[in-house]
Chain A
């Protein structure tokens, strides 16, 4: 009991330090680099939403990019074409993302493993197909564009703080979600769905709720992305987007939640900085991915965690041998 309280305190302290460090970003690195960190936070939300399903429920989704992009499309359409209020647009965007994840969830939660992967892949492709073909609404490849950010948010640092506060709240919510009894039941389903079912859990419903919650997070990220970019095109809902989110989660460590932040920071930086020096930046990314998989198969955060876990176990052992506990 005491140990878990300590762990919670540790996590909160770490999160607080992280938040303070991030809050300093616009002061030390204004302009473009603040924009980069904003992007890191938005993609971190996407990666973490994927991690909720992949890491905790053992269901790797390949349609979260489409869920994310649905929100982006709805915000852009509502504001630039229909001329609506941006915040109502954001609410509608998140609702639309949740609707897509509800449909995808209803179809997919009864499957697992490679079938879940393929089903979500197909559903993501459907969303992409709609965005490419429904020219009159989505503008096909040309996409939708126009400034959607209200004037008081035009300043990059202000927008950054908005994203920081929102993503902080969502990350806290996700952390509470996965460490709640409900989150534990998802982990139980990951370990053995049949056992959970025989214990009386409605596993499909649990997975569906988990999926829609993760869709909600991806939707908020997508809506923020619309405000960030003032532009959306099919590449935002494409498979590559889902794969990138998943890659971020895997790099940081599946089932660690905070790994999504590290993975997102790595990939965004790589995409924007390394690519200025070499057009082979995707090769650098591939190489890094291979190295991480060989030397830190649980992802960067995952490996750090299990190392410190082993050290704690060792310490506890020596302490008990010395008879202090």
Chain B
């Protein structure tokens, strides 16, 4: 390569780099549009959920006419690629180049953890309505990272354990879960409460992500003859497990209970009668007959022709939550401390849940959690309908936060199982 062609190539490379990233550093003070940086996995393993994240978030802003406290809302969407390295890079871009007022988003725990670390170093408010990694609002909490309209993984499965032991008199349960942190945490929440009451965990199976064939697990579960099996599977794994469970004829033999993602709309949307009757626990149940929920469900259906999943719901409520905080401070989101304080103070009463929601002192919402069952929806399809309510469930269940935080994080090795 001669000098001229070198200059040409380098000029092209750097020209491309500079041009593409034109400077728009208009740090609006007070009256200009509020720029929101939304990170969503639009490519990669959880791309389907990522799309619903954008849908749910935008639905709310459209409903309020794209304006809050007299300021226009501009949502800048970036693809985190289901990959923490890309998520981090995009977070930097949104904050340092686009000058967003705050960040919201991500689905997978590792992407959320990466962005939370960046937010910690930089002070930018970051909200994560779906990232459920326990420690982000527990042992590794950061003041400017809040789980607005989100939940911790172990929070939701605890009421189910209580219900199984007390209401259904189940004493011996087997768990099967995806072999990664989200699974350890949901299973850990269940196992700790269940064994704390005196129940027995007769076995725990950990299947790798993307298990095609569950038959070896199903055979082992059958031979353990438990009172119930607690399943924690997401996405395609949940789909396959439910189908194979039914085709092995287990559906009417051993009761199947699951973590909230197990029977989320994103899973059961494409399934038939094999999902009917599965019990799970969550703060949101799209089949809840109360008007607040049904209005949201029909709005979402009207906009996107499908029932809302946990992803769409969470980001819709998060938008609502942030809008309420913005109203409270007259849209002055540039004052980060004031804005974060306002977000912490919100009690959300008009969300699709129809029940008030607020953050605990650690930045995680306290919910009324439903025990819900999958039933046939009038007009076709299946949805989750509440059976019972556990009011005011926090991420610490009935434990004292200070004492709870002394125990290690849930892992394969530590499931909080009490002996005896």
Q: Which residues of A contact B (CB under 8 A)?
A: 10, 13-14, 17-18, 21, 25, 28-29, 31-33, 35-37, 39, 135-136, 140-143, 145-147, 229-231, 233, 235-236, 258, 262, 265-266, 269, 271-273, 275-276, 279, 281-282, 300-301, 304-305, 307-308
- Cβ-defined partner of A135 (8 Å) among B90, B97, B411: B411
Known contacts: A279-B79, A301-B9. The answer to whether A143 contacts B114 by CB under 8 A is yes
- Is A266's CB under 8 angstroms from B13's CB? yes
Nearest A-chain residue to B133, judged by Cβ: A142
A68 and B86 CA atoms in complex are apart in Å by: 17
| Surface stretch bound by A, among B14-22, B157-165, B261-269, B293-301 | B14-22
Residues of B68-94 contacting chain A, CB below 8 A: 78-79, 81, 83-86, 88-90, 92-93
A142 and B181 CA atoms in complex are apart in Å by: 7
Nearest A-chain residue to B20, judged by Cβ: A273
The 10 closest A-B pairs by CB, nearest first: A32-B96, A279-B42, A145-B117, A32-B97, A273-B20, A265-B13, A305-B1, A31-B96, A231-B114, A14-B6
Known contacts: A35-B92, A235-B83. The answer to whether A142 contacts B20 by CB under 8 A is no
Interchain residue pairs with CB less than 8 A apart (9): A29-B21, A33-B18, A141-B109, A229-B114, A231-B85, A235-B83, A265-B17, A272-B90, A305-B1
Minimum CB–CB distance from A62 to chain B (whole Å) comes to 19
Task: Check B256 for interface membership: any CB of A closer than 8 A.
Answer: no
- Is A233's CB under 8 angstroms from B84's CB? yes
- Cβ-defined partner of A275 (8 Å) among B7, B16, B79, B180: B79
Contacts of B14 in A (CB 8 A): 21, 25, 265
- Is B78's CB under 8 angstroms from A233's CB? no
- Is B85's CB under 8 angstroms from A235's CB? yes
Task: Check B412 for interface membership: any CB of A closer than 8 A.
Answer: yes
Task: Check B110 for interface membership: any CB of A closer than 8 A.
Answer: yes
Task: Check B366 for interface membership: any CB of A closer than 8 A.
Answer: no
Q: Which residues of B contact A (CB under 8 A)?
A: 1-3, 5-7, 9-10, 13-14, 16-18, 20-21, 42-43, 47, 78-79, 81, 83-86, 88-90, 92-93, 96-97, 108-110, 113-114, 116-118, 120-121, 133, 180-181, 411-413
A143 and B113 CA atoms in complex are apart in Å by: 8
Minimum CB–CB distance from A194 to chain B (whole Å) comes to 33
Contacts of A142 in B (CB 8 A): 109-110, 113, 133, 181
- Is B93's CB under 8 angstroms from A272's CB? yes
A304 and B8 CA atoms in complex are apart in Å by: 11
Minimum CB–CB distance from A43 to chain B (whole Å) comes to 11
Contacts of A236 in B (CB 8 A): 85
- Is B78's CB under 8 angstroms from A276's CB? yes
* A-B interface contact total, Cβ < 8 Å: 132
Contacts of A276 in B (CB 8 A): 78-79, 93
- Is A36's CB under 8 angstroms from B17's CB? yes
Minimum CB–CB distance from B206 to chain A (whole Å) comes to 11
> How would you classify the secondary structure of chain B's contact residues: helix, strand, loop or mixed?
helix
- Is A233's CB under 8 angstroms from B114's CB? yes
A28 and B78 CA atoms in complex are apart in Å by: 25
> How would you classify the secondary structure of chain A's contact residues: helix, strand, loop or mixed?
helix
Known contacts: A29-B18, A32-B96. The answer to whether A230 contacts B117 by CB under 8 A is yes
Contacts of B121 in A (CB 8 A): 147, 230
Minimum CB–CB distance from A41 to chain B (whole Å) comes to 12
Known contacts: A14-B3, A235-B85, A308-B5. The answer to whether A141 contacts B97 by CB under 8 A is no
Nearest A-chain residue to B51, judged by Cβ: A279
A139 and B20 CA atoms in complex are apart in Å by: 36
Contacts of B412 in A (CB 8 A): 135
A119 and B88 CA atoms in complex are apart in Å by: 32
A28 and B83 CA atoms in complex are apart in Å by: 30
- Is A272's CB under 8 angstroms from B6's CB? no
Contacts of A141 in B (CB 8 A): 108-110, 180-181
A240 and B89 CA atoms in complex are apart in Å by: 17
**Sample of 6 further A-B pairs with CB below 8 A, known A33-B18, A308-B2:** A143-B114, A262-B13, A265-B13, A275-B81, A305-B1, A308-B1
Contacts of A229 in B (CB 8 A): 85, 88, 114
- Is B17's CB under 8 angstroms from A233's CB? no
- Is A231's CB under 8 angstroms from B109's CB? no
Contacts of B83 in A (CB 8 A): 235
A31 and B118 CA atoms in complex are apart in Å by: 14
Contacts of B110 in A (CB 8 A): 141-143, 233, 235
Contacts of A282 in B (CB 8 A): 43
Minimum CB–CB distance from B348 to chain A (whole Å) comes to 29
A146 and B116 CA atoms in complex are apart in Å by: 10
Contacts of B88 in A (CB 8 A): 229, 231
